Each structure stands twice: as structure tokens, then as C-alpha cells.
Amino acid sequence: MILYVFYFLSFLAVLSALMVVFSRNPIYSVLYLVITFFCVGGHYLILSAEFLFAVHIIVYAGAIMVLFLYVIMLLNLNKDTEPQKNSIYKFAAILSGGLLMLVMVGALKGAESATIQLGSNSEVGLVKNLGRMLFNEFLLPFEIVSVLLLAAMVGAVMLGKTPLKATQQESKSGNGRSLMADSPKITHVKEFTNE
Amino acid sequence: MVMDLIVGLIPLAPLSGFLLIALLNKQLRHWLVALIACSAVLVSFVLTVVLFFAMGEDLPSFNYTAFEWITAGNFSVSYSLLADPLSVLMMLIITGVGFLIHVYSAGYMHGDDGFNRFFAYLNLFIFFMLLLVMGSNYLLMFVGWEGVGLCSYLLIGFWFKNTEYNNAAKKAFIMNRIGDVGLILGVIMIFIQFGSLSYPDVFQQASEMTAGSTVLTTITILLFIGAIGKSAQIPLYTWLPDAMAGPTPVSALIHAATMVTAGVYMVARNNILYSLSPFTLDLIVIIGVATALLAATIAVAQNDIKKVLAYSTVSQLGLMFLALGLGAYTSGIFHMTTHAFFKALLFLGAGSVIHGMSGEQDIRNMGGLRKYLPITFITFLIGTLAISGLPPFAGFFSKDEILANAFAGNKIAWGLAFLASLLTAFYMFRLFFLTFSGSVRANETVKHHIHESPSTMTVPLVVLAFLSVTGGFIGIPAVFGGGHALNEFLSPVFAGSAQLQEPHHLSHTAELMLMGVVVGVTLIVIWLAHNLYVKRKRLPAPDGVSLGTFHRLIYNKYYVDETYDRAIVRPMNFTSKAVDAVVERLLIDRIVNSTGRVVTWGGRTLRHLQTGNTGFYIFAMVVSIIVLLMVKTFV
Amino acid sequence: MNDSVSQAIQGVPLNYYIWLSTALFVIGVLGVLYRRNAIIIFMCIELMLNAVNLLMVAFSAYHGDGAGQVFVFFIMAVAAAEVAVGLAILIVIHYNTRSTDINVLNKLKW
């Protein structure tokens, strides 16, 4: 019976993934991606990875996708402004995707045909066990990940600040502060070219 | 054990002197550099003396192996030094005379800009020469051989701003290298034949071979070709007179006492091989005696004080090779030792004269220097007496031994060698009288400045004069009741050859009679020279005066240099220009340039892949992943 | 509860998870190649990461080893950090070029 659950979740995941790729409106893509994430989270659940299911929903569907939504809304993207590639490139893309699928499946052909016991009371995915493993064997990576997140935070804030400061600068041009100190931060497209 | 370490230290002292001076060149004062250099050689000398006294009665040979230098399959060569009687004798000469010349140079090169460089080169030379005589295998000897050639080049062309001197340096080096071809081929053949390059192995195996085999004859001829180049025998001798372009201490050290004797050392070291090749020995006799006579005839007509001494060196080297060729190895080494003393003395004395005469080298402009340069006068006289072979000076014992061996072995060789010795006495005393006696022929400015050399220069002269007087006593022959200490000392080295040959024996009466004849005729010749140049005050012809045919021939050194130029140098230049125009320009340049062009074209074409389009880049990445996966799974 | 569920238990072959994961991954690659909008491309990269996560959890459940799930945990952390920084960069680009089209960013050439 659980096999049917598996089939249903897989079908839904693949379908919404395809819709992510092929839908015109970026907002629709985001929403389809959220559905995909839920399906994958469902897979985690039937694989008895409860802690991961929780973290997956919170982090991916709850934080990352919301961030994406914010950015899309900030940049005011909708169906009209969406650029499209040439047909030939689209065709080439589909072809290479299919080829990649073929090659990967062919590569994994000799893989073990074993069965996973779904729904069994596997102890591994429990929060307690996972936490114990996390804080005993994987303590160092855990700490380093915290440093990584700190670095990402700092980076994101630094990058995000720039346009705001420039707009402030433009409005206060004559107040005695030297412009030279801040102007290098404003990078215009023209400076990229070699003219 | 300690002795072995001492053996290893001996070459290191001058090497460290060289490194110290060379690396800190500009920051060291002149006096400090002279101190470092002289003490480095002095350290080596003291250690060698210690080694000498440690040899004592039973004359062991000390071995010191530092590390395995080359190991490639069957072929292995180690950095190992050998101190047996022959090498210890050479080391004493090198470091002893070398030390005196270092001290002398401190005075002679005073005020020169390249003072530090000079001492660095001198120390390097001593190191390489020590390596040459101490090396316990052919490869190490070859390293020293090449190294002294290099230092000779550096020192001959020391005043490098003069193109002529540079040409002389190049000539010396190139002629050396021509000889080295023979040496290298000989060493290779030795390896092929004996399977090893170390002296003990080779000599051990060689002593079991039969005499006169083709292999040995070829090997010995090839090695001798190397000696021809290094020790200035016919036909590769023309570099030595030109090498007088270097400073006089260089001429004394390298071209009188040490480097040119490397060939003599090598033949003596390989005595077992040579004793088994009678054909080569005959060849050596012929070349040696021909060189001795040829050079002596040229020297009679030369007017440059250093050139006379240079040809005299070539002539004496010929005599040494004559001795070696007759199988009298000890005599050859003996003459080499005494020659080192008096030739170095003569060269340093000439340097003192040149120094006092503000750089004048032509003996036609000298004369009457006896009053002005007393110490130089006396020491130069002693040197001249020694080289002429008058008893009891050093040259008498050594030269007479060679002549006795020649008389017993090969009468024609004896006759020619005798003639060469007479000519030697004649031109040396000609040189002496024209330089020191009579009236001063120098011009006023030079005459005003004539002065005796400082003590750093005269003290070595005195020491060398003392050695020229007493040096012969190490080899007093049996006829005078002496035990010939040198023979005893060197007997372990030449033991193998002694078994193979019967030494030439003259009865004591014959030997005494021979000595008497030689000394008597020499005295007559000296009297003749005195008559010509002192009594009748005859002077050599000035430039521009036309000379008689024979006189012109020997004055122009038999036109050998010109012959070499026409026969060898010009065709070579032409060939090289032709090859350059054809092979180099048309073939090789084209190939090399087109390789570059292909690369440039490839780069230009590949450049079009960088469209800048991010989408294209991603696509290329995916395609590459697909290709890699395919290769991995299906190949 | 365990008994009734265990009666309904069926094993799922591991191969199915491998194929599912491969399919999701390939769809992600397809999306990256197919779309021109940088943000959509980013989302497809997230899709690829998820495919990998799924595979790792599947193997972890198969082997009974918790290390796979811990690794997924770290991958999620890294993905979050990456998204944050990546979107910040995207915003700066948009501010400078007024567009999120990747064809505009074509200066990395000779």
C-alpha cells in the first residue's frame, strides 16, 4: 500500500517540477516549486526521516521559497517581462536533458536491486538519535556550518546594502562629505566594457 | 680515521675560501680577502704536511669517501679522495707553491680593481687542482681537469676589457677541450673495458692483462691526447705562450707549477696501463722530445720575458714526458717537482721585474737591473742556474736522471734531449744577462720609477730560491751515495710497472762520465752566452729590422699559429656560416617558428568558444558532464 | 498501530528512488538550460539539490546509517546560505542592469 503513496508522491513531484520549468509566470514557478518541496518532504516522511521532514519544510518551503517570492516581488517580474530563449536552444536543452537522463540511468543500471522497508520503525530518523549523532561525530562540521551561515549573513547584508546607500548619496550631494570615498562602490555597467 | 677526515678536509679549505670571497665580494676589503685566501691555502698546506708525516715508513694510502655521487644501474661513482705517495707529493707542491704565490699576488695585484675576484679564482683553482690529484676515480679527476681549465680561462682573461686577452683565454680553453675529447673517449673506453671507473679496480684488472693489447693501446693513446692538450705538447701547445696575457702570478701558478703538470700526473697515475702499451710509450717519447727541442729553438729568439719562460715551460714539459715515455716515471715526477720550484721562481722573478719596470716586458728595453733589484737579481740567478742543470741546484739532479735514462734507453732521444738542454741553458742565460747586466736601456720615466718589490713579493722569491737550491736533494742518485729518497717514497705507486719493466741501468762510471759531459758542455754554452751578451753587449734586433731566414722562422714560432688559422680556423668559420645559412635558417627556424604559429592559431580559434554568454557556458558544462559520464560508464 | 501498519508494509525497491532522484535532477538541469531568467535558474538549482537530498536519505534509510541524514542536514544549511547570498548578488545585478536576463551578463569574454 505504501507503494501507492510512493507512486502518488513521485508523480506529483515530477509533474510540479516540470511545471516549474515550463510555466511562463515566475510566481507560478515559485508556487510549483513549493509543491515539489512538499512532495519531497513527504518522501522523507515515508522514509522515516521525521526530523529532516520538519527541517525541510521549515527551511525550504518556509524560508527559502519565501525569500524567492520576496525577491520576485521586489523586482516586479511577471509574465510580460519574461525573456525567452530561441527555439533552437530550447530544443538543444531538452535534448541534452534527455541525454543526461539516459546516461545516468545507464550508469546506474548495475546498481543493487534492493528493497527498502518503508514504514518500519527505523530508529535512525528520530530526532533524538539524529541529534546524538550530530553532536557527537559531526560536531566540527556543525560548528563550521554556523561560521558559514555567519559569513553568508554578513555577505548578504553587505551586498544588499549597496544600492540603498547610493540612492541616499545621490540625494545628498552637497553636504560636505567627500564623494570619492563612496563612489567606487557604485558599479555601473559601462565600467565593464573596454571602451 | 682522523687521517681520513683530514684527507676530506684538504680540498674543502680553498673551496670555502672561494665561496666566502665570491659571495661577499663587494663587501670585503682587499686585505681581508688576501688574508682569507692565503690562510685557506695555508690550512690545506698544513694538513697536507700532517698527512705526509703520518705516512711515515710503511706508506699507507688513505681513502676518504664522502658520498655516492652517481648511481645508475651498474654504474656507480663516489666522491672519494685518495692520498697515496704520488698524490701527497702533488698536494704538497700545489698547496705549498700555491701558498707562496698567493702571498706574492697580494703584493703584485695591489691596487687592482679585480683584486677580490682574482683571489676567488685562485682559491677555486687550488680546489679543482686538489680534486684532480686527489680523486680516486677517473670521473672526479675529470671534474678537476675541467675545473682547472675553467679557472685557467677565467684567470688568463682576467683583465677582460682587453679583447686580445680574451682571445688568448678562449684559445687556451678551446685547445684544452680538443685534448679533452681524447680524454673523455679514453675514460669511456676504460669503463667499457673494465666496468668501473675507480683507480683500484681498473689497475687491479689491468695488471692481469697482457702487454700490447689493442684496447690498452687505444685507451692510453686517448688519455695521452688529453695530456697533450692540458700539458701543451705538440700539436696543442700554442695556447701556452698566448696565455701569458694573464697576470704573472697566474702564469707562475697555473702555467708553470700546477695545471700544465696535470698531464704528467695523469700518465704517472696510469703507469700500469702505459707500461702495458709499449707503442704508446714510444709515441710519448717522440712527442716529448720533439716538443722539447722545438720549444727550445723558438725560445732562443723571443724578446718578451714571459714568452721565453713560457716556451721554456713547454720544453721542460717535453722532457718530463720523455722521462715518462722511457718508463722512468719517478724521474718524470722528480723533474716535475723541481721544475715547479724553479719555474715558479723564474716567473715570480719576472713578475717582480715587470712590476719594478712599470709594466715593461720587452727585454730589449731592460738591462742593468742588478743594481736596482738586488733580491730579484739573486733569486732569478738561482732559478736560471737551476734550470740550466748545474750542480748542486735542483734542476741538475732531475734533468740528469732523465738524460741518464735516455742514454740507457734510446740514444737518439738522448742526443735531442741533450741539445734541448743546451739550448735551455743558452736562452735562459741570454734572458738573464739581457735583463740584469749591462747598462740600463729603459727610457727615463721608467728608469725613474724602478724599485725593488715589496716584501710580500720578495719573501716568496727567497723561499722558492731556497727550494730550488735544496729541492734536488730528495733524489740524490746512488752514484753519489744517496738513497734516492723520492724513489723510495713513490715506490708503492709504481710497483706494478716496476715489475713489468727492467729499469735501465747504467754503470756508475758511465753515469758519472755522462754527468761530466753534460755539465761541461753546459758551462761552455753559458760562457758563450756571457760572451755574446755581456762582453760584446750584443742586443736582439729591434722591431722592423729584417732578419735572416732561419732567425725569422724561429722568431715567428715556425708560423704554427698561422698554419692553424689557415688550415683549421678559417674552414671552420666558413662551415659554420654555411650551416647557419642553410640548416639553421631554412630548416630549424622554420620548424620552430611554425610550432609557435600553430599554437597561436590554435589559441585564436579556441578563443571563439568564449562567447561571454552565460547560457552557453552552462550548456557547455552540461555537455561536458554528459561526455564524462559516457566515457566513464561505457569505456 | 505497528501490527496493522506492518501488514501493509511493502518494500520499495531502491532503484525506484534512484530513478526518481535522477528524474528530478535532470528536470533541474533542463530548467537551467531552458530558462533565461536568472531567478528561475536559481530555483532549478534548488531542485537539483533536493534531488540529491532525496537520494541520500533513501540510501540512509536503506543502510540504516544516520550519516546520510546528517549530511542532508548540512546540505540544507549550505543551500540556505547559498540562496541568501545568491539572491543578494542577483539584486545588485538587477540594480545595475535593470534586468535579470542572463544574456545581458556577457562581458566574460576575450
Q: Is C42 within a domain?
A: yes
pLDDT for B436 beyond 70: yes
Radius of gyration of chain A measured on its C-alpha atoms: 24
Task: Judge whether A2 and A40 are in contact, CB under 8 Å.
Answer: no
Tell which of C7, C15, C59 to mutate to test the A interface (max A CBs under 10 Å): C15
Q: What domain count does chain C have?
A: 1
A111 contacts in chain C (CB < 8 Å): 14-15, 18
Q: Is C110 within a domain?
A: no
Contacts of A93 (CB under 8 A, 6+ apart): A85, B619, C30, C33, C34
Q: Is C69 within a domain?
A: yes
pLDDT of residue A195: 38
B611 contacts in chain C (CB < 8 Å): 106, 109
Asked if the C-beta of A176 comes within 8 angstroms of chain B's C-beta atoms, the answer is no
Q: Which letter does DSSP use for residue C37 in this model?
A: B
Strands C11-13 and A115-117: antiparallel
Of B539, B360, B534, B379, nearest to B448 (Cα)?
A: B360
B622 contacts in chain A (CB < 8 Å): 96, 100
Tell which of A99, A102, A109 to mutate to test the B interface (max B CBs under 10 Å): A99
Q: What is the pLDDT of residues A9-32, one digit of tens each?
A: 999 999 999 999 999 889 999 999
- Cβ separation B622–A96 shorter than 8 A: yes
Task: Judge whether B362 and B302 are in contact, CB under 8 Å.
Answer: no
- CA–CA min distance C4, chain A (Å): 11
Residue among B607, B615, B622 minimizing CB distance to C102: B615
Residue among C12, C29, C53 minimizing CB distance to A115: C12
pLDDT averaged over every residue in chain B: 87
pLDDT of residue B469: 87
Task: Judge whether B429 and B530 are in contact, CB under 8 Å.
Answer: yes
Q: Quick one: CA dihedral B424, B344, B178, B584, positive or negative? A: negative
Task: Judge whether A9 and A43 are in contact, CB under 8 Å.
Answer: yes
Asked if the C-beta of A93 comes within 8 angstroms of chain B's C-beta atoms, the answer is yes
- Cβ separation A2–C97 shorter than 8 A: no
Asked if the peptide bond before residue B235 counts as cis, ω within 30 degrees of 0, the response is yes
Q: Is C22 within a domain?
A: no
Contacts of B568 (CB under 8 A, 6+ apart): none
B619 contacts in chain C (CB < 8 Å): 33
**In chain A, which residue's Cα lies nearest the Cα of C23?**
A101
Q: Is C51 within a domain?
A: yes
- Cβ separation A68–C53 shorter than 8 A: no
Whole-model pTM: value is: 0.70
Of A179, B459, A191, B613, nearest to C102 (Cα)?
A: B613
- Cβ separation A96–B615 shorter than 8 A: no
- Paired with B67 in beta bridges are B79
Residue among A55, A71, A119 minimizing CB distance to C90: A71
Which region among B47-61, B141-155, B352-366 has the lowest average model confidence (pLDDT)?
Answer: B47-61
Q: Quick one: CA dihedral B382, B386, B387, B388, positive or negative? A: positive
The CA distances from residue B416 to B287, B315, B505, B514, C76, in Å, are: 12, 12, 20, 15, 103
B630 contacts in chain A (CB < 8 Å): 103
How does DSSP assign A63-113, residue by residue? IIHHHHHHHHHHHT--STT-----HHHHHHHHHHHHHHHHHHHHHTTTS--
Q: Residue C32: which pLDDT band, with cuts at 50, 70 and 90?
A: very high
Mean of pLDDT values over C67-81: 93
pLDDT of residue A163: 56
Q: Is C54 within a domain?
A: yes
Asked if the C-beta of A111 comes within 8 angstroms of chain B's C-beta atoms, the answer is no
pLDDT of residue A160: 80
Residue with cell 513549493: A34
Radius of gyration of chain C measured on its C-alpha atoms: 19
Mean of pLDDT values over B81-92: 89
Q: What is the dihedral of CA B467, B469, B472, B474, to 10 degrees?
A: -50
A107 contacts in chain B (CB < 8 Å): 629, 632-633
Task: Judge whether C13 and A113 are in contact, CB under 8 Å.
Answer: yes
Q: Is C68 within a domain?
A: yes
In chain A the domains, ranked by start, together with CATH numbers, are 1-78+120-134 (1.20.120.1200), 138-170+183-189 (no CATH)
pLDDT of residue A179: 43
Asked if the C-beta of C110 comes within 8 angstroms of chain B's C-beta atoms, the answer is yes
Consecutive H or E run containing B80: strand B75-83
Helix (H), strand (E), coil (C) string for B116-155:
HHHHHHHHHHHHHHHHHHHECEHHHHHHHHHHHHHHHHHH
Q: Which letter does DSSP use for residue B478 in this model?
A: G
| Furthest-apart CA atoms within chain C: distance in Å | 68
Tell which of A27, A53, A116 to mutate to test the C interface (max C CBs under 10 Å): A116
| Furthest-apart CA atoms within chain B: distance in Å | 111
Q: In which domain, by residue range, is C81 found?
A: 37-101
A85 contacts in chain B (CB < 8 Å): 615
Distance CA B428, CA B388 (A): 8
Asked if the C-beta of A165 comes within 8 angstroms of chain B's C-beta atoms, the answer is no
pLDDT of residue A99: 87
Distance CA B389, CA B400 (A): 8
Residue among B607, B614, B619 minimizing CB distance to C105: B614
Q: What is the ipTM of this complex?
A: 0.87
Strands B62-72 and A115-117: unpaired
Consecutive H or E run containing A169: helix A139-171
Q: Which long-range contacts (CB under 8 A, 24 or more apart) does C60-66 make?
A: C60/A47, C60/A49, C60/A124, C61/A47, C61/A48, C61/A49, C61/A116, C61/A122, C61/A124, C61/A125, C62/A114, C62/A116, C62/C14, C64/A122, C64/A124, C65/A124, C66/A124, C66/A125, C66/A129, C66/A130, C66/A133
Residues 7-46 of A with CB under 8 A from C: 10, 13-14, 17-18, 20-22, 26, 29-30, 33, 36-37, 40, 43-44
* Alpha helices, DSSP H, located in B410-454: 411-436, 444-449
10 Å CB burial of residue B332 (0-12, 13-18, 19+) is buried
Pairwise pLDDT comparison (B4 vs B272), residue with the higher score: B272
Q: What is the pLDDT of residues A65-119, one digit of tens each?
A: 999 999 999 888 877 666 777 778 888 888 888 888 888 887 777 666 666 666 5
Distance CA A117, CA A120 (A): 6
